Structure 1
Amino acid sequence: MSTTMTDPDPVSFADARELLVDLVSIPSPSGQERDAAERLAAFFEAHDREVRIDEVGNVRAPADDSVLLTSHIDTVPGEIPVEVESADEADEEDDIADEGTGVLWGRGSVDATGPLAAMAAAAVRTGVSFVGVVGEETNSRGARHLVADREEPDAVVNGEPSGATGITLGYRGFLSGTYVATSESGHTSRPEPNAIQHATSWWTSVEEAFEQDEYQPVFERVTTKPVAIDGGITDDGLSVEATLDVQLRVPPTLDVETVRETAEAPLEIGTVTWADPIPPVMESPRTEVARAFRAAIREEDGEPRLLRKTGTSDMNLFAGAWDCPMATYGPGNSELDHAPDERLSLAEFDRSVAVLTRVATTLTGGDD
C-alpha cells in the first residue's frame, strides 16, 4: 500500500494543550463541527502537514499509513463552562486532578476532544496519518464515508476515552429500529388491543426473548432499550397510531442479523424499519497494536489494562471494513462521557500524548 512520508515535527505538550483547550472551547455538537474542524486543520497547516476538510466534514491529514490515528470531532449537546482549574482549586476528593497540573472542564473534554487533540499532536510528532471524523454521536457518517473513500491502513488507533493506561479491544454492536402500527379507533371500553398496545406487546416479547442471567457480564449480553414512544388518535379521529424507537446492543458472540431476526420473530402486527447496523468487534490482545500499547504504557510508568466496552464506537465500523489490527485509546474517565461534570486531567492528557507518540513510533518502525 502506498504511503506519503511526512517528516515529524516537535509538538510540545504546551502546544498540544493549547489545541485541546481551543477545541473544547469551540461548540461542536453533531452537525455543527465546522468551526472545530477548521481549528484542527489549522493546527496541521501550522506544522506544515498536508490537510483538507472532505465533503462530509472530516479533517484528513494523510501521511505514513503504517498507522492511522483517528477520533471524532463532534460532541453531544450540552454547555459546560470551559475552565482550566488548577490543582489547588480542585476539590481534594476529585480524583481527576493529579500531579499538580489541573483539570480542564468542558463539553467534549473526555468524549472525545481529549483523545482527538492527543492524536493530532502524536500524528504531527511522528508523521503518521490522521483523520478527525464527524457525526460519531449520531450516525457515524464520517467513519462510514472514510471506509468507503480510502485505502485500508496498516493499523488503526481509534480515539475514545480509556484512561491513560487503558486499551479498549472490544465493543458491542448496535441495532436501532422504529416500530409503527395503526389500528381502528373505537371506544376505550372495547377489549380489542389498539396500536399502542400492539407496540408495547411486541417490545415486551423482544425483551423476554433476550432475557439473560443477571450474573452474565453486560458485555456478553444483548441489551434492549426503548428510547422514544409516540401514539394516540389521529387528527381525523379514525385511527390510533403508535411509533416506538428501539435500540439493541449486540455482543461479539452474536451477529447483528441473528439479533434482528430474533427481534422480528414475535412481530404479528405492525412493521419495523431498521437503520444500518453496526457490527460488534473484539480484537486480539496479541496484535502488534495491542503489544505496542502495552509496551508504551509501561514505558510511561503505567500498568496496562485491557478493556471491553458495552457501548459502540467508530472502531466497530473500521473493523467491519478493514482487515487490519486496531485498538481504541484516549485520555479521560469514560464514566464522565456526556455527563454534566465532564472534565479531564491535564496530566493524564500529557501522558496519553506520550503513549500515542511511542505507539506510532513503534508501528512505523522508528526508534523511540
Structure 2
Amino acid sequence: MDVRERVVKLLCDYISIPSVSGEEEELSERYASDLERAGLEVEIDRLGNVIGRRGEPEVCLTSHLDTVPPDEMEKPFEPRIVDGKLYGRGACDAKANLAVYATLAEIWDGPLEIIAVVREETDSAGIRHVLRRGEIQANHVINGEPTELRPVIGHKSRVEVRLCIEGEPKHAGSHNPENPILKFCKILHDLHEMLEDLEDALGVPTANPTSVHSRGVATNVTPQCLEAVLDVRLNTQLSPEDLERFFHEVEGVSAEIRAGAPPFVLSGDEPVVRALREALSARGLPDEPITWPASTDAGYIRNLGGKDVVVFGPGSIDYAHSPSEHVPIEELVDAVRVLYDVVEYLSS
C-alpha cells in the first residue's frame, strides 16, 4: 500500500470512530495500536492521551483525538471522498494529522515522538496533563491543526468574558443613563479604544460580542439587566488579569473571565521553523510563516512546556467545525512527505 492509500485508509478509519470531546476512549485505543504496529513504545495515560516514542527523538508531533459534536453535519462518521476531498467530522480538525503521523511512523524508522491528546476542543486538559508530567522529550514540536500546510509561528489566546450589567427599569420614553444596553455600548467602545493601542506581532487584540440578552418586562420599559458574552482574542500585550481590572473598574458590572491557551509567537528563526520552511519550499509549497486567528494547544506547549512549536497541518480552518468539514487528499500526501523531510533533517 503506497503513502496515498495508507493515509487515506487511516483517516477514513479514524473518522468512522466518533470521538467528541470526553468520548475519545475507542479512538485512543485504536491509535495506540497503530503506533505500536509502526514500532513505537506506546502508553495511554489516565486521561486517555496517547504517547508514542521511539529512540531519543528530536521531533515531537502532537495533535488531538477529539472533535466538536457533529451538529448538522450529514452522516458525520461515514467518510466519503468527493472531488479529491475527504469529508467527515474531524477530517481536518484534526484527525488528518493523526493519519499523517501514523503513516509517517510506518515509513520513517528513526527516532520519533507522537502525542495525541484528549479534550483540546473543550478545556485542553489533555495537553496540560502531558506537560505537567514532562512527557514531551523532543526539542522541536509540530502541533497538528488545519493550516493549509502553512507554518504558523504564533496565535492569540481566546478568552471568554461573561458579563452581567445591572440597570434600572424605567419608562422607555424617559432619559435613563442606567439603561444596561447603553452601558454595554459604552463598555464596548471603551474596551475597543484600549485594545487599539496594544498591537504586537500578532496584531491588535479583538473583542466581539457573541451573545447578548436583556431582561425587560415590556418593550416600552428599559431592562433591569443585560447579559452578554464576549469572545476576546489576546496578544502578548494583554493578559486575562488586565481584562479583569478593566471590568472591575466599571460600576454595576460583574465579569466572569474564562481563559484558554495563552498566546505565543516565535521569531521565525528557530530550527523547527527553518526545517519546515525548507521542506515546503523544496516541494514548491508556500513556506512564508504566518500567524493565526484561532487558539490551539501550541500556546500551552510554548508557555508551559518551553518548547519551540509550529502549528502545521492539512486542511483549512474555514471548514473546521462546519457541516462541510473536509481535507484535500493531496494535502494529506504532501503533509506526510514534508514532515518526513523535517523529521529526517532535525534527527540528523
Provide the secondary structure at the position in 1 that maps to 2:99. helix
Corresponding position of 1:69: 61
Provide the secondary structure at the position in 1 that maps to 2:300. helix
Counterpart Cα distance in 1 of 2:306 and 2:319? 32
Counterpart Cα distance in 2 of 1:61 and 1:289? 20
Q: Does 1:206 align with 2:191?
A: yes
After the TM superposition, which residues 1-368 of structure 1 pair with which residues of structure 2 at under 5 Å, given as runs? 12-63=3-54, 64-78=56-70, 79-81=73-75, 82-85=78-81, 90=83, 102-124=84-106, 125=108, 126-153=110-137, 154-164=139-149, 166-182=150-166, 191=176, 193=178, 198-211=183-196, 219-232=202-215, 240-252=224-236, 254-257=237-240, 259-260=242-243, 263-264=246-247, 266-365=249-348
Gap change, CA 1:151 and 1:217, over 3 Å in 2: closer
Give the conservation status (yes or no) of the 8 Å contact 2:248–2:254. Answer: no
Gap change, CA 1:301 and 1:203, over 3 Å in 2: closer
Corresponding position of 1:94: none
Give the conservation status (yes or no) of the 8 Å contact 2:63–2:94. Answer: yes
Percent of aligned pairs with the same residue?
27
Deviation at 1:240, TM superposition (A): 4.1
Counterpart Cα distance in 2 of 1:54 and 1:217? 38
Corresponding position of 1:6: none
Deviation at 1:12, TM superposition (A): 4.3
- Worse-matched range after superposition: 37-46 or 10-19: 10-19
Corresponding position of 1:93: none
Q: Which amino acid aligns with 2:42?
A: V
Provide the secondary structure at the position in 2 that maps to 1:221. coil
Give the conservation status (yes or no) of the 8 Å contact 2:15–2:90. Answer: yes
Give the conservation status (yes or no) of the 8 Å contact 2:57–2:111. Answer: no
Give the conservation status (yes or no) of the 8 Å contact 2:240–2:257. Answer: no
Give CA-to-partner distance per residue, 1:261-302, whole Å, 9 cap, x none: 564265211221212353221112211101111222233343
Provide the secondary structure at the position in 2 that maps to 1:268. coil
Question: RMSD across aligned C-alpha pairs, in angstroms?
Answer: 3.0
Task: Provide TM-score, normalisation by structure 2.
Answer: 0.84
Counterpart Cα distance in 1 of 2:328 and 2:200? 30
Aligned residue-pair number: 334
Give CA-to-partner distance per residue, 1:173-198, whole Å, 9 cap, x none: 22222223445667666736255654
Deviation at 1:172, TM superposition (A): 1.2
Tell me, which stretches of 5 or more residues in structure 2 are unaligned? 218-222
Counterpart Cα distance in 1 of 2:323 and 2:200? 27
Counterpart Cα distance in 1 of 2:244 and 2:333? 46
Gap change, CA 1:332 and 1:242, over 3 Å in 2: same
Tell me, which stretches of 5 or more residues in structure 1 are unaligned? 1-9, 91-101
Deviation at 1:218, TM superposition (A): 10
Q: Which amino acid aligns with 1:15?
A: R
Counterpart Cα distance in 1 of 2:282 and 2:177? 68
Counterpart Cα distance in 2 of 1:72 and 1:270? 37
Provide the secondary structure at the position in 1 that maps to 2:259. coil
Provide the secondary structure at the position in 2 that maps to 1:334. coil
Q: Which amino acid aligns with 2:80?
A: V
Q: Which amino acid aligns with 1:75?
A: T
Give the conservation status (yes or no) of the 8 Å contact 2:86–2:326. Answer: yes
Deviation at 1:356, TM superposition (A): 1.0
Corresponding position of 2:220: none
Deviation at 1:67, TM superposition (A): 1.6
Provide the secondary structure at the position in 2 that maps to 1:220. coil
Deviation at 1:168, TM superposition (A): 1.0
Gap change, CA 1:69 and 1:341, over 3 Å in 2: same
Give the conservation status (yes or no) of the 8 Å contact 1:206–1:266. Answer: no
Gap change, CA 1:355 and 1:48, over 3 Å in 2: same
Q: Which amino acid aligns with 1:329?
A: F
